[in-house]
Structure 1
Amino acid sequence: MIELEDMRYFIEVAESGGFSRAAARLGVSKSIVSRRIARIEEHLGARLLNRTTRGVTASDAGLEFKARAERLLADYDEALDAVAVHGGEVVGRLRISAPLSFGIHHLAPVLAELAAAHPRLELDVSLSDRLVDLIGERLDAAIRIGKLEDSSHVARRIAPIRSLVVASPAYLARKGRPARPEDLATDHDCLIYTGSRSPEWVFTRGEATISVRPRGRLRSDSGETLVAWALAGLGIVQLPSFLIGDTVDTGALVPLLLDHPTPEFGMYVVRPPGPHTPGKVRALTEALLRHFGGTPAWDRCVRHVAETEAAARQAKKAEERG
């Protein structure tokens, strides 16, 4: 009989387009992958993969086998998951993607706790700011931050995501504060995040929305790099509070344009469509809600800024009355 694990190896090779890439994803040697694929082809008496110097592709027979193998494995995984739920266990391999900076600073400790609580759970985590294809890359879930586009995927909102526009005291002493969002396009040096599809910074003024294309010579797709540049006094940056909360709390970075707040977005767990939520995805979602649900700890800087601004307004009114 063909083993279920052999099917998994075949699907990985067909999806990745090569034995080496599949082996790297599976965490085994290339020779093991080759032997398993050869065993399937010998058992079936058919060539499932077309091999060329440029890689491998599934043959017509391979495409038929892959479609049915995926259904069998999905049913098998769902059966294991249903049994494990009754025993309070989480089993299987959880393949997830998450934004790079968020993954390093906030997600990694949550996943460590999840792995410790469930010894039979395997984790395969990819950290990248690109928009991944859950189905094409065979992921169980993705952590997404921002505004979700319409899709057939199932999403669960975990927490609000708020941004602040900040600069260091040294920069402000040298260049002054922007009085309005439009100043960022003319009179200031901005540090620009290139991982976003939109080059504009968005603010609100009352019920109106203002879009500004900031001016700046320093650009990066790394949030940590932008934080370091801002701390060095090189410019003004707009970043989520989960990246700059501590620096705002200590005064190393100063919030700007508070009377023109930026829109609030969200953090979501997104999974492929289907009526059944795997236990491993459900466990991930519950862990994220425990840690970040409601008002996340990193938003203490936003609350502190709002309270400070409110106190300042009250003091000004009292002074005007006096």
Structure 2
Amino acid sequence: MIELEDLKSFVEVVDSSGLNRAAARLGVSKSIVSRRITRLEAELGTRLLTRTTRGISPTEAGSEFKSRCDRILSEIEEARDAVTQQGRSVRGRLRLSAPLSFGVRYLVPVLADLAQLHPDLEIDVSYTDRVVDLIGERLDAAVRIGSLRDSSLVVRRIAPVHAVLVASPDYLARHGRPRTPQDLVGHECLIYTGSLVPEWQFQSGKRRISIRPEGRLRSDSGEAILQWAVAGLGIADAPSFLVSDAVESGALEPLLLNYPRPEYGIHVVRPPGSHVPGKVRVLIDSLVERFGGIPEWDRCLTEFTGR
């Protein structure tokens, strides 16, 4: 009989191209993984893996067997979901990637609630602004903000997020308040270097206005930009979820709200396939429930315009 754990170990070895990485992903020792592969090859009577200068790769028979193993494990996962969801319980391991600032501020509480509601669910989340390869890194889903490049992924839009200009009351008292986008010329701007678009964009009726910001402080960290803005060092262009608390407290003031800014989406993306694993479904449902309608990070801007 072929053991299920042997199949999982074989798939992990092929996907990670090595015994050590496969063992780390499975949470077992390298010797256990090696023993499982040896047992599997003995059961099948053929060699499945071969060593190369780049690591371990499947033989021709191993490649064929791997594709079938993927289907088998996927069907087992679907069957388990179908049974466990009848009792509204979710189990297994949710492997997730999320952007750093948004993830720490807003996703952590959602995942904490999920962990309490589903005690058999393991959650393994990586907070990074790097665009990860879901399939290559064997992730179940990722939370992404803004433009999505990989059209092969299945996308669910969760909520909007807007770009907003902010500055501290102290900075505005010293340098004046810009009334139009053109007034930004000559102001000290805090420049986020992680943006794909270097210009700050505004809408005036049907006309689009683009301003190239100038300033001496630059960073690829949104949190750093936020702290510099609160310290009165310049005007920042930031997502509304990042600055909402500072706006609500009065540490920052939004600027040029009569010139609409770009709207972006917060999405959950997952690998292609018609089946939505239960662990991904409960994540999406929780995010939609928490952030549906006008999300909390945009409410402060709505309230500010009404003052």
Same fold at TM > 0.5: yes
Residue aligned with 1:298, SS: helix
Residue aligned with 1:162, SS: strand
Give the equivalent residue in structure 1 for 2:301.
302
Structure-to-structure mapping, 1:154-303, within 5 angstroms:
154-184=154-184, 186-303=185-302
Distance 1:150 1:124, change over 3 A: closer
**CA displacement at 1:43 relative to structure 2:** 3.1
Distance 1:160 1:232, change over 3 A: same
Give CA-to-partner distance per residue, 1:93-147, whole Å, 9 cap, x none: 2222211111111101111111111112122212222222323332222212123
Count of aligned residue pairs for this structure pair? 307
The answer to whether the 8 A contact 1:130-1:195 is kept is no
Structure-to-structure mapping, 1:8-19, within 5 angstroms:
8-19=8-19
Give the equivalent residue in structure 2 for 1:87.
87
Equivalent position amino acid for 2:66 in 1: K
Give CA-to-partner distance per residue, 1:41-94, whole Å, 9 cap, x none: 343344433334643333333222221111110011001111112122112222
Deviates more, 1:223-232 or 1:98-107: 223-232
Distance 1:166 1:278, change over 3 A: same
Distance 1:277 1:51, change over 3 A: same
Equivalent position amino acid for 2:236 in 1: V
Give the equivalent residue in structure 2 for 1:319.
none
Equivalent position amino acid for 1:173 in 2: A
Instruction: Give the distance between the partners of 2:156 and 2:218, measured in 1 at CA.
Output: 32
**CA displacement at 1:150 relative to structure 2:** 7.1
Instruction: Give the distance between the partners of 1:117 and 1:108, measured in 2 at CA.
Output: 14
Instruction: Give the distance between the partners of 2:28 and 2:211, measured in 1 at CA.
Output: 49
Instruction: Give the distance between the partners of 1:161 and 1:77, measured in 2 at CA.
Output: 34
Give the equivalent residue in structure 1 for 2:49.
49
Q: CA RMSD in A?
A: 2.2
Residue aligned with 2:269, SS: strand
The answer to whether the 8 A contact 1:168-1:231 is kept is yes
Give CA-to-partner distance per residue, 1:127-175, whole Å, 9 cap, x none: 2222223233322222121234572432222212122111122322333
Instruction: Give the distance between the partners of 1:57 and 1:213, measured in 2 at CA.
Output: 49
Residue aligned with 1:284, SS: helix
Give the equivalent residue in structure 2 for 1:146.
146
**CA displacement at 1:225 relative to structure 2:** 1.6
1:111 and 2:111 aligned: yes
Instruction: Give the distance between the partners of 2:202 and 2:12, measured in 1 at CA.
Output: 44
Distance 1:195 1:60, change over 3 A: farther
Equivalent position amino acid for 1:164 in 2: V
Percent of paired sites with the same residue: 63
The answer to whether the 8 A contact 1:129-1:195 is kept is no
Residue aligned with 1:85, SS: helix
Equivalent position amino acid for 1:63 in 2: S
Instruction: Give the distance between the partners of 1:217 and 1:297, measured in 2 at CA.
Output: 32
Segments of structure 1 that go 5 or more residues without pairing to the other structure are 309-322
The answer to whether the 8 A contact 1:97-1:142 is kept is yes
Equivalent position amino acid for 1:14 in 2: V
